[in-house]
Amino acid sequence: MKNSLLIHNNNVPFKNQFAKTIAFKPTGVDIDEYITHDIIPQIKKLNPQIIYIKDNLSSNYLELYGLRLVYHIRLSQELGVKRLLPIVLLSDLDSSLLNRLSSMGRVLFTKNIFIAKNSIEAVKKIDTLEIKPFKEELYEDEFLNLIEVEPPKDYLSHHDISNEWAIYRWAKFLKVDSEAIIKNREKIASMLYFKYLLAKNPIEIEKKNGIQFVPRPPEKSGKVLYIDDEWAKGWSDILKQYFSKNQNIEFKTFKHDFKDSYKYIIKSKAKKKCEEYEPDLVILDLRLSKSDHSQKEITKLTGIEIVKAIKNINPAIQIIMLTATGKSTILESLYEHGILGYIKKEHPHDVSISTKDNFDKLKKLVDKGLDKKYLKEVWEIQKKVLELHLPNEIQLEVKSIFELLDTDMENRFNYAMFAIVKSIEIITNIYTEEKWEDGKRYAYWKNSNDKISSNYGNTNDSTENKIRTILDEKLFLGDLNIHNSLQEIIKIRNNTIHPKQGSVEKITEDNILIWFKMLQTILEKIEQ
């Protein structure tokens, strides 16, 4: 038979009739690896026009490796158009029995796959057929959509499959080629199931017009800590590469040996790492210990317990969950624990997750999280202020500052500024009181007939005059920066309430930090 190739296990008696032959002899290795590394390259090299395969390629007929090989040929992208060659399966059974024996038998009903008896007459008959070529554009309709490849049976390893699949995709987009990534690629690239997944969900790095998709890095600056039991499998390398595109981001991985670690050890070490490193943002996995895989209560998952521990250190540390879980009930409940958002790792069974979308989402979340990094300092100031012996009214105002800033409200900076000014007003009420005289209002020192000086602001009873006079005459706080800040915040407060055309100033996180520190200094002085 001209330009034909036979793949056999010494069980085709007329093998010398074929132009080329390959003896199928796996030796103690995984069968998918053997096919990928030994058989597929030989097919590529021999360049036949038609391939004959005996259905049984081992000493156990039921293994039906011949059928498995057919799938490999059709799904091995490295074969290019050769993966579409006509294939004849030589069998002792008919297609209906092969289908009863194995669900893989359905490949017999796809384009250019033929079945023939293991006899020279049957093969000669096939040789006379005029086989029309299988065109690439028909690949999906006439093959891919008609077959299914099942994942490895052990359902407990599905978490691994999902993880390896996601690593493979992220690494491809980011062109990461570290040792862990290569190991992951080698592990999965030969697996028939992954070849199938890849054919079903191709990685479209290149758009049709030739423009490449390049994941955009975040734009903000800050410190990012990554906590995941799968870090060494390639995730750490992937994220390191991703964040390296922005030099203003410092990225660190919590390099713990999770494999034999108990939950309480993981939790305490992760907490310690957060305390030492003081990250602005944490990327955290949900399931980090062995016990998590049988844990049904969401709140007892190691990831959630670490979220609580981090929020105890400083609730302003932003957390993004990177998880393989696909359960929407779990994912949505994560928000109840104060996380910024979540990234769902790509799952072979959930085609709705796109790697490109994941990169976009990650960028948005990281930028949003790092935008909030100033809140860590806000929280520290608030903590120190609340340790002072303050009147309840001031305590309430101070407490509201962090809460207001930790929202997505558009006017959160304005509201925080009002809370600071309100605290200042409460302070002025401690030291001064107002009295009416000749139809005019004046500020007096409390329980006294002495008017306070009028060195600042427009009037004696203005908030600016009152607080700055208190600083001068009662607290002896002559710090020019404090005075300037007071002048600024009151001016901006007034402008915000009574805006003059074009004069409303935009309040920034830097303003808030300066003003809150100023308030802290004043309150500490009062405490003294």
Distance set, CA 299 to CA 75, 83, 99, 174, 408 (Å): 42, 49, 46, 34, 25
Shortest Å distance, C-beta 225 to other proteins: 27
Binding mask 269-298 for other proteins (x = CB under 8 A): ---------------------x---x----
As a 3-state breakdown, the chain gives helix, strand, coil percent values, each rounded to 5, of 55, 10, 35
Shortest Å distance, C-beta 322 to other proteins: 23
Shortest Å distance, C-beta 300 to other proteins: 16
Among 5, 32, 288, 339, binds other proteins (CB under 8 A): 32
Give the sign of the dihedral formed by CA 326, CA 329, CA 332, CA 333.
Answer: negative
Rule CB under 8 A: is residue 184 a binding residue for other proteins? Answer: no
Q: Got the DSSP string for 10-29?
A: S--TTGGGSSEEEE----SS
Among 3, 30, 245, 350, binds other proteins (CB under 8 A): 30
Closest to 323 in 3D by CA, of 302, 297, 294: 302
Shortest Å distance, C-beta 155 to other proteins: 7
Closest to other proteins by CB, 191 vs 270, is 191
Closest to other proteins by CB, 13 vs 391, is 13
Residues between 59 and 78 with contacts to other proteins, criterion CB under 8 A:
59-63, 65, 68
Among 28, 202, 478, 502, binds other proteins (CB under 8 A): 28
Shortest Å distance, C-beta 116 to other proteins: 12
Rule CB under 8 A: is residue 192 a binding residue for other proteins? Answer: yes
Q: Which amino acid is at 298?
A: I
Would you tell me the crossing angle of helices 192-200 and 179-189 to the nearest 10 degrees? Answer: 100
Closest to other proteins by CB, 72 vs 468, is 72
Among 58, 201, 400, 429, binds other proteins (CB under 8 A): 58
Helix, coil or strand: residue 316: coil
Shortest Å distance, C-beta 156 to other proteins: 6
Neighbours of 123 (CB within 10 A): 21
Helix, coil or strand: residue 359: helix
Closest to other proteins by CB, 159 vs 172, is 159
Shortest Å distance, C-beta 193 to other proteins: 7
Among 5, 22, 31, 507, binds other proteins (CB under 8 A): 31
Q: Which amino acid is at 160?
A: D
Closest to other proteins by CB, 30 vs 387, is 30
DSSP annotation of 502 reads: T
Shortest Å distance, C-beta 200 to other proteins: 17
Closest to other proteins by CB, 35 vs 310, is 35
**CB-CB contact of 335 with 173 (8 Å):** no
Binding mask 80-109 for other proteins (x = CB under 8 A): ------------xx---x--xx--------
> Residue 359 and residue 355: Cα distance in Å, rounded?
6
Q: Which stretch binds other proteins (CB under 8 A): 57-65, 195-203, 415-423, 446-454?
A: 57-65
Closest to other proteins by CB, 60 vs 392, is 60
Closest to other proteins by CB, 59 vs 247, is 59
Shortest Å distance, C-beta 197 to other proteins: 13
**CB-CB contact of 85 with 110 (8 Å):** no
**CB-CB contact of 319 with 372 (8 Å):** no
Going by C-beta distance under 8 Å and a sequence separation of 6 or more, which residues neighbour residue 334?
Answer: 286, 304, 307, 321, 342
Q: Taking phi first (over 0 means left), then psi (-120 to 50 degrees means alpha), and beta for anything else, what does residue 441 get?
A: beta
Shortest Å distance, C-beta 211 to other proteins: 37
513 alpha-carbon distance from chain centroid: 30
> Residue 66 and residue 75: Cα distance in Å, rounded?
14
What does the H/E/C string look like for 166-186?
HHHHHHHHHCCCCHHHHHHHH
Shortest Å distance, C-beta 170 to other proteins: 21
Instruction: Give the number of residues in contact with other proteins, rule: CB under 8 A.
Output: 39
Closest to other proteins by CB, 116 vs 313, is 116
Distance set, CA 405 to CA 180, 409, 418, 501 (Å): 41, 8, 12, 27
Shortest Å distance, C-beta 73 to other proteins: 16
Residues between 113 and 172 with contacts to other proteins, criterion CB under 8 A:
117-120, 152-157, 160
Q: Which stretch binds other proteins (CB under 8 A): 29-37, 421-429, 454-462, 516-524?
A: 29-37
Would you tell me the crossing angle of helices 158-174 and 235-244 to the nearest 10 degrees? Answer: 30
Rule CB under 8 A: is residue 24 a binding residue for other proteins? Answer: no
**CB-CB contact of 36 with 26 (8 Å):** no
Among 4, 11, 302, 423, binds other proteins (CB under 8 A): 11
Shortest Å distance, C-beta 35 to other proteins: 10
Closest to other proteins by CB, 190 vs 485, is 190
First to last CA, the chain: 102
Residues in the chain: 528
> Residue 22 and residue 8: Cα distance in Å, rounded?
6
> Residue 112 and residue 84: Cα distance in Å, rounded?
8
Q: Rule CB under 8 A: which residues touch other proteins? A: 11, 13-14, 26-28, 30-32, 56, 58-63, 65, 68, 92-93, 97, 100-101, 117-120, 152-157, 160, 191-193, 290, 294
